[in-house]
Amino acid sequence: MTSCADSSCRVVTLRFDLAGDRACLVRVHAAGLNPVDFKTRQGMLKVVQRYKLPTVMGNELAGVVEAIGDGVTRFSVGDRVFARVAKDTLGAFADYATIPESLLATMPATLDFETAAGVPLAGLTALQALRDELGLKPGSRVFIPGGAGGVGTFAIQIAKWLGAEVTTTASPRGKALVERLGADVVIDYTTQAFENEVRDMDGVFDLLGGDTLKKSFGVMKPGGKVVSIAGLPEPETARKDLGRGAFLRTLFWFASYGSRVEARKHRVSYRYLFMHPSGAELTELAQLIDDGKLEPVIDRVFSLDEIADAFAYLEAGHAKGKVVVRMVDSPA
């Protein structure tokens, strides 16, 4: 397929077959950038997912449906959609992506493409961790360290929507942001040690791992639960999130041994979460956004030509909200 917007002509090679796939061909207008992208690039996730190289990276996108396959009933050509793409294919950093209908959702009417592209992965991660794993309900007390980041900005708002009281950590630069999003208690991690300030939490959603995760077990009520996306996977991760067998469960048993021992010492449970794509849950998030109950926070938007700079900016760890890449030649 050849695309010529002006005198400069790009040849775009597309490999897709929509027939019988219940899939849509989406013209990508913007794609979100996430820590999982640079971890994949660095080979840190090879034990979980090996990709045949070369491969097109990118885990989430927003765009317009260009074509539909057999059996597609929920979308039509021209629909504005967004998605967390399938984990085994990736492909968001591209002109076009083929996405199963079940993973797509209609974009929130109130958002542009760049903002919508920053929603799927972080939004679904927060929703699944807080509602499905921690089971937050009105009156729950939850600790979310690192609340000003990409997942954290969604997590604070979703926890408040579920009725929970939210404690988080932030720098002085991030304090106003997390308070605006609804955090009830904000601990300045540059001057305060949260383990001396936080007590009797029903749940912890760990976004940072390392010492933060280790110390988080001590701020819990007995019987509480720590869910992490930054620690080390445990056996349930292999079974429930990845559908893998005994070998990976055993590997994760050893990898997570220290965290599970620490959890038992404090009489709480530990769970590492690999989120799963879901068009149905994305539709829920879109409704929350259009209802004014959830605000996506975008830190910076880069062009595709600047994607190396976007990776470097994200890896520096100072983004407040999401980092997004605008695809070349895509309309606003």
Predicted confidence (pLDDT) per residue in 66-94, tens digit: 999 989 999 999 999 999 999 888 999 99
pLDDT at residue number 317: 85
Average pLDDT, the chain: 90
123 pLDDT above the threshold of 90: yes
Cα dihedral sign, 262-210-31-119: positive
Enumerate residues 6+ apart whose C-beta is below 8 A from 97. 25, 26, 28, 61, 63, 85, 91
Residue with tokens 């820590």: 35
Per-residue confidence (pLDDT) for residue 183, from 0 to 100? 98
How far apart (Å, rounded) are the C-alpha atoms in residues 155 and 214? 20
Of the candidates 103, 159, 96, the residue with the CA atom closest to the CA atom of residue 127: 159
Burial class, 121, CB count within 10 angstroms (exposed 0-12 / middle 13-18 / buried 19+) = buried
Residues 210-237 have a mean pLDDT of 96
Quote the pLDDT of residue 16. Answer: 54
- 3-state class (DSSP) for residue 72: coil
Q: Report the DSSP pairing between strands 165-170 and 185-188.
A: parallel
Angle of helix 279-290 versus helix 120-127 axis, rounded to 10:
100
Span 174-209, pLDDT tens digits = 999 999 999 999 999 999 999 999 999 999 999 999
Name which of 247, 250, 175, 259 is nearest 212 in CA terms. 259
**163 in the Ramachandran plot: left (φ > 0), alpha (ψ -120 to 50) or beta?**
left
pLDDT (0 to 100) of residue 88? 83
pLDDT value, residue 278? 97
- Average pLDDT rounded to a whole number, residues 31-36: 92
Whole-prediction pTM? 0.91
Q: What percent of the chain has pLDDT over 70?
A: 90
* pLDDT of 9 higher than 70: no
- Nearest Cα residue to 30 out of 280, 308, 332, 321: 332
pLDDT at 187: 98
Position 227 pLDDT exceeds 80: yes
Find, among 324, 320, 330, 228, the residue nearest to 275 by Cα.
228
Per-residue pLDDT, 177 = 97
